[in-house]
Amino acid sequence: MEEEAKKERNEEVESDGGDGGVEMVRVLVVDDSPVDRKIVEMLLKKSGRMFEVIAVDSGEKAMEVLGLSEVTIGRPHFNDQKIDVILTDYCMPQMTGYDLLKAIKEHDSLKSIPVVMMSSENDPQRISRCGGIGAEDFILKPLKIKDVQRLRTYAVPRTPISKSGTKRKLPVDLVAENSGYETCQRVAKVAVA
Amino acid sequence: MLPLCSRVLLSHPFSPMSLMALREQLNMLVNSMYIEGLLDQQFQQLQMLQDASSPGFVAEVINLFCEDAERILTELTKDQAVVDFQKVDAYVHQLKGSSSSVGAQNVKLACIQFRQFCEENNKDGCLNALNVVKHHYYLLRNKFDTMLQLEQRIQAYDSKQQN
C-alpha cells in the first residue's frame, strides 16, 4: 500500500529511484534550468546509486512536494515524500532559492531538512545571507561529482543503505574539503514563459 | 574535404571502414570545437557521464540547451526599441548559466560581456552583444547538429552489428 501511494506521488514529479528495497538518500532538486536539472540528476545517479532524485522546476513546486503549498487540499502532510536533503538553485524566477530556504527553515516540521544552495556566480553577501538562515552549504555551478557526493554528509538516511546489512563509514575523501560559501549575483525576478 | 576513398566508403553506411571513418570524423569535429573555443572542459565532464546505461545523455543535454537558448534569444530579440536592462540581464544570466553547464565556452563568454553592457545600461552595447551571442550560438548549434548526426549514424551501425 505504501508502494502504491509512493508511486502515485512520484507520478506528479520527475523521480528517478535506484534499487528497489534499498533505502537511499532522497534528494529534492529544485532548478528552473532544464539543462541543470538533467545534469544534476545524472550526477546524482552516477554517485554510486546512493540517491533517489525528485526534480522540480520551481520553488513553488518544491513547496508542493514538501506539503507547504496552499494548493494542497485538506490537511497538509509535511514532507510526505520523506525528503532527506534539498538541493536548490539560488537564482530562480518568482520564488528564489533563498525564499524557499527561508520558508523551510521557518517551518517546525521541515526545518531539520538540510538545504544546500547552488549558484553559478559568486556573491559573498548572498552566501552569508543563506548561511545566516540555515543553509548547509553553497555549491558553485557547474556541479561536479564530488559536489553531489558530499550531499551524503548532510543527509541522515532513514534506514541503513547497505544490502549486506553492514554499516558503511563515509570515506574521509568524501567529506567536504571546502565548506566555504560561493556567491550568487542578484538577478531580477522575471516571469519566464 | 575527405579523400575520395573515404567519401565512397561513407556512401555505404554499414561497411566496416565507414564506421572507423565516422568515428574519426566525430573525433576531429569535437577536437576542433575545443581548439576553436566553442567547447571547454565542462563538455568533457558531460561526455564522461554518458555510458551504456545512458547512451543518449549528451544528446539530451544538447537538445535541452538548444531549446532553452533559442527560447531566450527569441525573447531578447523582441522589442529592441526599448530595452529593459534588468529583464534582459535576467535572460542573459539564464543563458550564461546553461551555456556554462554544457561547456559552451564562447557563448558563455559572450554572455558575460553582454551582462557587462546591461550593468552599464548601454543599449548599443547590448544590441551588439546580442548579435555576438547569436553568432556564437548558431555556430555552435551547427556543429552540435553535425555531431549528433554522426553519433546517430555510429549508434545505428553498432545496433546493426549487435542484431
pLDDT at A12: 42
For chain B, how are helix, strand and coil distributed in percent, rounded to 5? 80, 0, 20
Give the pLDDT confidence of B38-80 residue by residue, as tens digits: 999 999 999 999 988 898 999 999 999 999 999 999 999 987 7
Q: Between B45, B64, B90, which is nearest A35 by CB?
A: B64
In the predicted structure, residue B2 carries a pLDDT above the cut 60: no
Residues of A in contact with B98 (CB under 8 A): 33, 35-36
Residue B113 CA, distance from chain mean position: 19
With CB atoms and an 8 Å threshold, state whether A42 touches B75. Answer: no
Most distant CA atoms of chain B, gap in Å:
60
Q: Are A82 and A110 in contact (CB under 8 A)?
A: no
Beta-bridge partner residues of B104: B39
Q: How confident is the model at residue A140 (pLDDT cuts 50, 70, 90)?
A: very high
Q: Which of B7, B37, B163, B155 is nearest to B103 (CA)?
A: B37
> Testing the interface with A: which of B53, B93, B144 to mutate, by most A Cβ within 10 A?
B93
Residue of A nearest to B112 (CA): A121
Provide mean pLDDT across the span A106-124: 92
Distance between CA atoms of A32 and B94, rounded to whole angstroms?
9
How large a percentage of chain B has pLDDT more than 70?
88
Q: So what's the ipTM on this one? A: 0.85
Nearest to A84 by CA among A128, A42, A131, A116: A116
Asked if A35 and B65 come within 8 Å (Cβ–Cβ), the reply is: yes
**Closest in A42, A141, A193 to B97, CB measured:** A141
User: What does the block give as the cell for B13?
Assistant: 553506411
- The alpha-carbon gap from A87 to the nearest alpha carbon of chain B, in Å, equals 16
Mean pLDDT over residues B23-48, rounded? 95
On whether any CB of chain A is under 8 Å from the CB of B12, the answer is: no
Domains, in order of start, for chain B: 18-48+70-156 (1.20.120.160)
CA distance A176 to chain B (A): 20
Size of interface A-B (CB pairs under 8 A): 63
What is the C-alpha to C-alpha distance for residues A28 and A15, in angstroms, rounded to an integer? 9
pLDDT at B15: 62
- The pTM score is 0.78
Asked if residues B87 and B147 have their Cβ atoms less than 8 Å apart, the reply is: no
Task: List chain B residues with CB under 8 Å of A35.
Answer: 61, 64-65, 68, 98, 101-102
- Nearest by Cα to A54 from A107, A96, A22, A10: A10
Question: pLDDT tens digits, residue range B73-107?
Answer: 999 998 777 789 999 999 999 999 999 999 999 99
Q: Among A180, A78, A90, which Cα is nearest to A136's?
A: A180
Would you say residue A175 has pLDDT above 50? no
B49 contacts in chain A (CB < 8 Å): 39, 42-43, 46
Strand order in the sheet with A14-16: A14-16, A51-56, A25-30, A85-89, A115-119, A137-140
Record: contact B90-A35, CB cut-off 8 A: no
Question: What mean pLDDT is reported for chain A?
Answer: 75
Q: Are strands A25-30 and A85-89 parallel, antiparallel or unpaired?
A: parallel
- On average, the pLDDT of chain B sits at 89
Per-residue pLDDT, B102: 97
What's the pLDDT score for residue A67?
Answer: 87
User: A57-111: per-residue pLDDT in tens?
Assistant: 999 999 999 988 765 545 556 666 689 999 999 999 899 999 999 999 999 989 9
